[in-house]
Structure 1
Amino acid sequence: MISRHLFPLMVWAAAMLAAFVILTVRVDAHEVRPAYLEVTERADGKLDVLWKQPSIGLLAVAIHPRIEGGLIERAPDRVENAENFELRRWNAVDLKGGSLDGREVRIDGLERTITDTLVLVHLKNGEEEQRVLTPAYPAFAINAHAGAAVPAYLKLGIEHILTGIDHLLFVFGLLLLSSGWKQLLRTITAFTIAHSITLALTALKLVSVNPQLIEAMVAYSILFLAVELVRKQRGKDGITQRSPWIVAFGFGLLHGAAFAGALKEIGLPEHNIPASLFLFNVGVEIGQLIFVAVVSALLWALSRLRWPVATSRLAWTAASYAIGSFATFWFLERLHTALDAIV
Structure 2
Amino acid sequence: MNRWLAVLFVCLGLTIWPTGVRADELRPAYIEMTEQSPGQWSLLWKASENSRLGRNGRIILPQNCQTNGARTREFVGSNILTRLSLQCEGSIQGQAIGLEGLELSSTDALARIAPIDSAMETVRLTPDQHIATLEKPSVISNVAATYTIIGFEHIILGFDHLFFVLALVLLLKGGWLIAKTVTAFTIAHSLTLVGTTLGLLSLPSQPVEAVIALSIIFLAVEVVKSKPGDLRLSERFPWIVAFLFGLLHGFGFAGALAEIGLPEGDVPLALLTFNLGVEIGQLAVVALALAVLHGLRKFQHSWLQPTKTATAYAIGIIATYWFIERMVA
TM-score greater than 0.5 by the shorter chain: yes
Secondary structure at the aligned position of 1:136 is classed as coil
Question: In the TM superposition, what is the alpha-carbon distance from 1:25 to its structure 2 partner?
Answer: 2.9
Distance in 2 separating the partners of 1:169 and 1:226: 9
Distance in 1 separating the partners of 2:60 and 2:70: 13
Q: Which residue of 1 aligns with 2:21?
A: 25
1:95 corresponds to which of 79, 82, 88: 88
Q: Which residue of 1 aligns with 2:291?
A: 297
Ranges in structure 1 where 5+ consecutive residues have no aligned partner: 338-343
Q: Which residue type is aligned with residue 106 of structure 2?
A: I
Show CA shifts across 1:124-159 (max 9, x none): 113111111101111111123554433211111111
Ranges in structure 2 where 5+ consecutive residues have no aligned partner: none
Distance in 1 separating the partners of 2:290 and 2:70: 50
Q: Is the 8 A contact 1:35 1:266 kept in 2?
A: yes
Show CA shifts across 1:67-91 (max 9, x none): 1227355775321112332111113
What TM-score comes out, normalization by structure 1 length? 0.86
Distance in 2 separating the partners of 1:50 and 1:285: 31
Q: Which residue type is aligned with residue 81 of structure 1?
A: F
Root-mean-square deviation (CA, aligned residues, Å) is: 2.8
Inter-CA distance 272–13: structure 2 relative to 1 (3 Å threshold): farther
Q: Which residue of 2 aligns with 1:110?
A: 102
Distance in 1 separating the partners of 2:156 and 2:301: 30
Q: Which residue type is aligned with residue 267 of structure 1?
A: G
What TM-score comes out, normalization by structure 2 length? 0.89
Question: In the TM superposition, what is the alpha-carbon distance from 1:303 to its structure 2 partner?
Answer: 1.8
Question: In the TM superposition, what is the alpha-carbon distance from 1:321 to its structure 2 partner?
Answer: 2.2
Q: How many residues align?
A: 326
1:133 corresponds to which of 109, 112, 125: 125
Distance in 1 separating the partners of 2:69 and 2:318: 44
Secondary structure at the aligned position of 2:48 is classed as strand
1:237 corresponds to which of 225, 231, 234: 231
Show CA shifts across 1:35-88 (max 9, x none): 111111233321011101122189934321111227355775321112332111
Distance in 2 separating the partners of 1:80 and 1:99: 30
Q: Is the 8 A contact 1:76 1:90 kept in 2?
A: yes
> Once the two structures are aligned, what percentage of the paired residues are identical?
39
Q: Which residue of 1 aligns with 2:318?
A: 326
Distance in 1 separating the partners of 2:233 and 2:173: 13
Show CA shifts across 1:2-34 (max 9, x none): xxx999877645433322225x639x986x521
Distance in 1 separating the partners of 2:66 and 2:9: 49
Question: In the TM superposition, what is the alpha-carbon distance from 1:319 to its structure 2 partner?
Answer: 2.6
Distance in 1 separating the partners of 2:69 and 2:8: 53
Q: Does residue 46 of structure 2 align to residue 49 of structure 1?
A: no
Q: Which residue type is aligned with residue 47 of structure 2?
A: Q
